[in-house]
Chain A
Amino acid sequence: MRPAWLRRGDVVVIGVVLAAALFAGIGIWFDRAPAARVSIQYPDGSSALFSISENRSVEIVGNGGIALTVEIADGRVRVKHSDCPDQVCVHSGWLSQSGQAAACVPAGVCVQVVGGDSQVDGVTA
């Protein structure tokens, strides 16, 4: 490897990575359904479902004492606040399409929009 400006192998690598991204993207695209519920997964592996159409705020304490605030409002959900220094879940912003997720790996918490029966509320699975 020496400095050079785009060799044939580079084009192949970029092509393969883009194809893989497209392939994964198509899979997710066909898997989507109307947003109905919010699934919150807790560090112990349990999860709870909330209706996405009922405004509420959920407080979670994750691994390492990381506190998160999840806000459900106007058919959308976001992680409003997290004590985690990475702030990856907060930067995920508002989620409104099924399949969309905001995760805090250090805290072991994952918030995901899912489809299905919107009547269920706060059920622990």
Chain B
Amino acid sequence: MSNNRIYRLTVTAILAALALALSFLEGLLPPLPVPGARLGLANLAVMFALAELSIPCAAGITAVKAIFALLRGPIACLMSAAGGVMALLAMSLVYRVCRRQLSFIGVGVLGAAAHNIGQLVVSLMLLGSAMWYYAPLLLLMAVPTGVVTGLVLNVTYPHLRHFS
């Protein structure tokens, strides 16, 4: 079907817009108790794209997020890209290798952990070894934030699917 490419492009664009809106909404919520930790609701859009579209579509959403982070400065863009690429790599890998053994909950936790590791690596490169202090806290926070993201996608998946 020749409409397939247009369909994918359109849904990817809508999901990218959704990811940006979710990032913005998340910023309005009170900060989590661990400094630097975020809920990562925008990962919903990436996970949905992986499940319904393709890895390149998910990568497109990650790229849009990183480009829009430029509005908050080059460092924010670098941090967004590092977290986004790591999450994308980890989630794409399990999607390819063992998608049947995982639900969105496990994928969410994996994506959150990979995202935090990517950001930790960049901050270690920029600011040095003091940033190791954040490692256990950020890894720990990946579990509740990833579970929440996975649960939200579990609930919203049928609706997202219907509208796409």
Contacts and interface: CB of A to CB of B under 8 A. Distances in A.
A120 interface: no
A11 to B, nearest CB: 8
Most buried by A among B73, B76, B103: B103
Interface residues of A, number: 44
Which interface class (under 10, 10 to 19, 20 to 34, 35 or more) fits B? 35 or more
A7 B139 contact: no
Contacts of B136: 21-22, 24-25, 28
B interface, by DSSP: helix, strand, loop or mixed?
Answer: helix
Nearest to B114: A17
A87 B147 CA distance: 25
A88 interface: yes
Contact of B123 (A2, A12, A102, A103): A103
A38 to B, nearest CB: 11
A77 interface: no
Interface string A2-13: 111111111111
Given A1-B107, A10-B103, A17-B110, 16 more contacts: A1-B51, A1-B104, A6-B105, A8-B101, A10-B106, A14-B143, A17-B109, A21-B140, A21-B143, A24-B136, A27-B132, A28-B135, A39-B130, A99-B133, A103-B131, A110-B130
13 contacts: A1-B95, A6-B103, A6-B106, A9-B106, A10-B109, A14-B143, A24-B135, A91-B31, A105-B75, A105-B79, A108-B126, A112-B130, A112-B133
Interface of A: 1-14, 17-18, 20-22, 24-25, 27-28, 39, 41, 63-64, 85-89, 91-92, 99-103, 105-106, 108, 110, 112
